[in-house]
Chains A and B, each alone.
Chain A
Amino acid sequence: MTAVLAAQGLIKSFGDLIAVNGVSFEIAEGETFGLLGPNGAGKTTSISMVAGLLEPDNGTVHVAGTQIRTNSTNGRSDIGLVPQEIAIYPDLTATENLRFFGRLYDMPGETLDKRVEEVLEVIGLSERQDDLVSEFSGGMQRRLNIGIGLLHRPRLLILDEPTVGVDPQSRNAILESVEDLSGEGIAVLYTTHYMEEAERLCDRVAIIDEGVIKAEGTRRELVSLVGEKDRIRVTVTGDLVEVARVASELPAVHEASPADSGVDVLANDASSVLPELLSRVAATGANVTGVAVSEPNLEAVFLHLTGKALRD
C-alpha cells in the first residue's frame, strides 16, 4: 500500500536541545499510526515538521508524494491538523469557524455548505451550529477542533493529543470518531501519552522518547520485541497439578503453574492458544469455571525500552 506520509530522518534542535533526532516513519492510507511518549518526548515537534509548521534541520517529509516545506503551500491541502490546543475562534459560531477554515482550503461554496453540514453531523454539533463557540463545553470545543481538521477531506489527519483535558464521555466520543476515520481511508497520525488510547486506536505505534523512536510496530510486535507474554488465568475445580501439566505440554505455552483455585498460564499469544488449552483442560475432567486473559500492555513495553514509566 502506498504511504500517504513518509517522514525520513527528521532532526530538529532548539539551541543546544535536540528535540527530535532522526525520526522516520511512514503511514499508509487508512492506517492509524500512534506516536506514544511522555510530555517533552518530541511528539509535537515531530508533527509540527510533518504539518509544515517547522522546517527540519535535516530530513524530509512527503505527504501523498509532495515534499512539505514551511515556505511552500504545496501538499498542504492533503493535511488536516488538529492542534493540541483548542484552535478555534470563541466569538464565531461553529458554522462560521468551519466555513472560515474551509474557505482557506479553497472549498467552493456548495461543496463547503454540504461538507459543513456533514462535519457538524459527525461531531454531533448540528443542533448547536449557530451558537457561539464560547458557549460550548470543553468537550464540544474539542469535537469542533477535530471537525475543522476533517473538513477539507485531508488524506492525512494529524491529531496532537486531542483528548487532553476532556471529560470521559467526550473523550470516548472523540475516540469513536477517530476509529471511524480509518474506514474512510484517511491516514491518521495520532500523538498521545495515554497508553490505552494508542492501544485502542492505532494499527501501529512508535514509542518515542528524548526525540528518538525507540521501537515501532503493531502492539503485538512491540510486545514480542521486549519478550513479554500473555497471562491466562484458568479457574478450575479438579486436579490443578494435572491441569498445569497438560497445559505446559502445548507448544505455544511458555509456562503453566497451579495457583489459587486455578492455573496460571504464560503464552506468546493467548487468543491462538486458548481453544486448544481449554479443550485439553476439559479432557482431564476438571471443571472450568472461568478464564481471564491479561495481555502485556504498551506501558510495560515503554518501561522496558526507556526504563521509566510513560507518565513520568
Chain B
Amino acid sequence: MGAATRIAGKDLKLRVRDRSAFIMGIVTPLALAYIFHLVFGGTFSEEALDLQVGLVDLDDTQVSQSLGEALSGLEAEGVLVLTDFDDTASAEASVEDGEIGAYILLNQGLGAAAIQGQPFTIEVVGDVDSQTTTQVTSSIASEFGSAIERSQLSVTTAIALGQPPPPDELAIWGEEAALRPPAFTFVDVSADTRQLDANTFFAAGMAVFFLFFTVQFGVVGILEEKQGGTLARLLAAPISHTSVVAGKAILSFALGLISMTVLIVATHYLMDAEWGPPLGVALLVVAGVLAATSIMGVIAATATSADGAANLGAIIAVILGMLGGTFFPIGQGNDFLARLSYLTPHAWFMRGLANISGGAEWTGVLPAVGALLLFTLVFGTVAWVLLQRKLTR
C-alpha cells in the first residue's frame, strides 16, 4: 500500500501543477452549474411557480361552487393563489394588469346542465405571457369538466339499464354526482419522477457529470506512464503490479472526492443547493466516485493510448451523463427513458440525492448507494483484471 500511495501522491502533485484536474473537476462544473442556475434556475423551482388564478362563478350553484372549494384547497396547500371575481370584466382587467395569470369562467346554467346531462362549457382565459399559469389552470378546468362528465355518465347508465329513478330523485342523483370532489389531489410522486429543486439539480448534475472526467486523470495515468517510458521504471522497481494499478485508482478516488466535496460546499453557499443530510450525501459521493473510477478504469484498460482513452472516456461520459439526466430530468414523462437511465450511475446518484435533498432521512440514499456499489463491483473487477494484464504484456 505504501508504494501505491507514493505513486498516487506523485501523480497528485503532477495534477496540481498542470491544473488540468482543477479546471475539469472544479472550475468547469462550478461555472456551468452557476450559469445553468442563472439561466434556468427559475424554470422548475417551486418558488418560481407563482400561480395567480382567478375564478368567475356566474352560475353560483353547488356544482360550480365545488370548483371554488377545490381551488381553495389548492391555495391552502400553497400551490396557487386564488382570487374570486364577481364578473368577467373585472377578471379580464386583472389579467391585463398582470395581477393574475389566468381565470376560469363558469357561466350561468352550468349546474343545471350538469344535472340534466346536457352539454356545458367551462372557459379559461389566460395571459399570453403567463403560459405556465394558463396551462395549469386549463388542466384544472379540464379535470373538473371530466369529473362532471363521469357523473353524468353514471346517471345515464342507470336510466339505460331500465331503472329510471323518479324525476325528483333524478335531480338529487345528478346533483350529488356532480358534487363529488374532483380529483385534485397532490400525491408524493415516486422517486422515478421526483425532481430536485433547480439549484440542487444543476449543482448535482454538473458535479456528477464532470466527476467522470475528473477521475479519468487517475486511471488514464497508466497509459501516460507507458507513453512517457516511466511505466517500465515503475515495473522494474521492487513493487507489485497491483501497487501501480492501486496508485492510479487511489488518485482517481482522491480527485473525485476532492472535486465533489468542493462542489458540494461551493454550490451550497453560492447557489443555495440543498444536498441533504451530510451522512447520506457522503455515502452517495463515495459510492458515486467509486463507480465512476471503475467505469473509467475499464476505458483505460481497453484503450491503447492516453489520448484514445481520453477521447473514448469523454464520449462515454457525455452519453452516460445525458442518459443519466444530469442536464435535464430525463425520467419525466417517459417510462422507457426513465428505465434506461438506470443503466447509468448518474441516474442513481441523482435519484439518491432526490430522495434526501428535501430533508428526508439519510437512509434514503441506501438503494442508490447499493446500485452504485454494484456498478463498482462489476466494472471495478473488469478494470482490475484488464489493467493487471496490461502491465504484464
A residues contacting B by CB (< 8 A) are: 48, 51-53, 55, 70-71, 73, 76-77, 79, 81, 83-89, 91-92, 96, 100-101, 103-106, 148
List the 10 shortest-distance A-B pairs measured between CB atoms, nearest first: A85-B229, A87-B229, A76-B238, A81-B236, A104-B237, A73-B238, A87-B233, A87-B230, A51-B236, A77-B238
CA distance A96 to B12 in the complex (A): 13
What are the residues of chain B within 8 A of A81 when measuring CB–CB? 232-233, 236
CB distance from B229 to the nearest CB of A (A): 3
What are the residues of chain B within 8 A of A92 when measuring CB–CB? 10, 13-14
What are the residues of chain A within 8 A of B228 when measuring CB–CB? 85, 87, 89
**Among the interface residues A48, A89, A104, A105, which one has the most CB atoms of the partner chain B within 10 A?**
A104
- The B interface, classified by DSSP as helix, strand, loop or mixed, is helix
**Among the interface residues B234, B237, B240, which one has the most CB atoms of the partner chain A within 10 A?**
B237
For the complex with contacts A81-B236, A100-B6, A104-B3, 13 further pairs of A-B residues with Cβ separation under 8 Å are A51-B232, A53-B232, A73-B238, A76-B238, A79-B236, A81-B233, A85-B232, A86-B229, A87-B233, A88-B230, A89-B10, A89-B230, A104-B239
Q: List 16 A-B contacts (CB under 8 A).
A: A53-B232, A55-B392, A71-B241, A76-B237, A84-B229, A85-B232, A87-B229, A89-B228, A91-B14, A91-B17, A92-B14, A100-B6, A104-B7, A104-B234, A104-B237, A148-B233
What are the residues of chain A within 8 A of B238 when measuring CB–CB? 73, 76-77, 104-106
Q: Is B235 interfacial (CB 8 A cutoff)? A: yes
CA distance A91 to B21 in the complex (A): 15
Contact (Cβ within 8 A) B229 A53: no
**Among the interface residues B7, B17, B229, B240, which one has the most CB atoms of the partner chain A within 10 A?**
B229
What are the residues of chain B within 8 A of A148 when measuring CB–CB? 233
**Among the interface residues B17, B18, B233, B237, which one has the most CB atoms of the partner chain A within 10 A?**
B233
What are the residues of chain B within 8 A of A52 when measuring CB–CB? 235-236
Contact (Cβ within 8 A) B14 A76: no
When C-beta atoms are compared, the residue in chain A nearest to B236 turns out to be A81
Contact (Cβ within 8 A) B229 A83: yes
B residues contacting A by CB (< 8 A) are: 3, 6-7, 10, 13-14, 17-18, 228-230, 232-241, 392
CB distance from A124 to the nearest CB of B (A): 21
CB distance from A164 to the nearest CB of B (A): 12
- The A interface, classified by DSSP as helix, strand, loop or mixed, is loop
CA distance A70 to B238 in the complex (A): 11
Contact (Cβ within 8 A) A76 B236: yes
CA distance A211 to B299 in the complex (A): 35
Contact (Cβ within 8 A) B239 A73: yes
CA distance A76 to B237 in the complex (A): 6
CA distance A251 to B266 in the complex (A): 92
What are the residues of chain B within 8 A of A53 when measuring CB–CB? 232, 235-236
When C-beta atoms are compared, the residue in chain A nearest to B11 turns out to be A89
CA distance A126 to B55 in the complex (A): 87
CA distance A84 to B233 in the complex (A): 11
**Among the interface residues B18, B238, B240, B392, which one has the most CB atoms of the partner chain A within 10 A?**
B238
What are the residues of chain A within 8 A of B232 when measuring CB–CB? 48, 51, 53, 81, 83, 85, 87
CB distance from B363 to the nearest CB of A (A): 43
What are the residues of chain A within 8 A of B235 when measuring CB–CB? 52-53
Q: Which of B13, B230, B237 contacts A105 (CB 8 A)?
A: B237
CA distance A101 to B3 in the complex (A): 10
What are the residues of chain B within 8 A of A51 when measuring CB–CB? 232, 236
CA distance A26 to B236 in the complex (A): 20
When C-beta atoms are compared, the residue in chain A nearest to B234 turns out to be A104
Contact (Cβ within 8 A) A101 B17: no
CB distance from B311 to the nearest CB of A (A): 22
Contact (Cβ within 8 A) A70 B230: no
When C-beta atoms are compared, the residue in chain A nearest to B391 turns out to be A70
Given A53-B235, A73-B240, A101-B237, check contact A91 B230 (CB 8 Å). Answer: no
What are the residues of chain B within 8 A of A101 when measuring CB–CB? 233, 237
CA distance A197 to B217 in the complex (A): 41
What are the residues of chain B within 8 A of A96 when measuring CB–CB? 13
When C-beta atoms are compared, the residue in chain B nearest to A82 turns out to be B233
Contact (Cβ within 8 A) B229 A103: no
CB distance from A102 to the nearest CB of B (A): 10
What are the residues of chain A within 8 A of B233 when measuring CB–CB? 81, 83, 87, 101, 148
What are the residues of chain B within 8 A of A103 when measuring CB–CB? 6
**Among the interface residues B3, B236, B239, which one has the most CB atoms of the partner chain A within 10 A?**
B236
When C-beta atoms are compared, the residue in chain B nearest to A74 turns out to be B238
When C-beta atoms are compared, the residue in chain A nearest to B240 turns out to be A73
CA distance A79 to B3 in the complex (A): 18
What are the residues of chain A within 8 A of B241 when measuring CB–CB? 71
CA distance A85 to B226 in the complex (A): 11
When C-beta atoms are compared, the residue in chain B nearest to A75 turns out to be B238
Q: Which of A55, A87, A89, A104 contacts B14 (CB 8 A)?
A: A89
When C-beta atoms are compared, the residue in chain B nearest to A80 turns out to be B236
CB distance from A151 to the nearest CB of B (A): 11
What are the residues of chain B within 8 A of A70 when measuring CB–CB? 392
Contact (Cβ within 8 A) A104 B6: yes
What are the residues of chain A within 8 A of B13 when measuring CB–CB? 92, 96
**Among the interface residues B3, B7, B230, which one has the most CB atoms of the partner chain A within 10 A?**
B230
CA distance A83 to B236 in the complex (A): 10
What are the residues of chain A within 8 A of B3 when measuring CB–CB? 104
What are the residues of chain A within 8 A of B6 when measuring CB–CB? 100, 103-104
When C-beta atoms are compared, the residue in chain B nearest to A81 turns out to be B236
CA distance A101 to B237 in the complex (A): 8
CB distance from A128 to the nearest CB of B (A): 18
CB distance from B244 to the nearest CB of A (A): 10
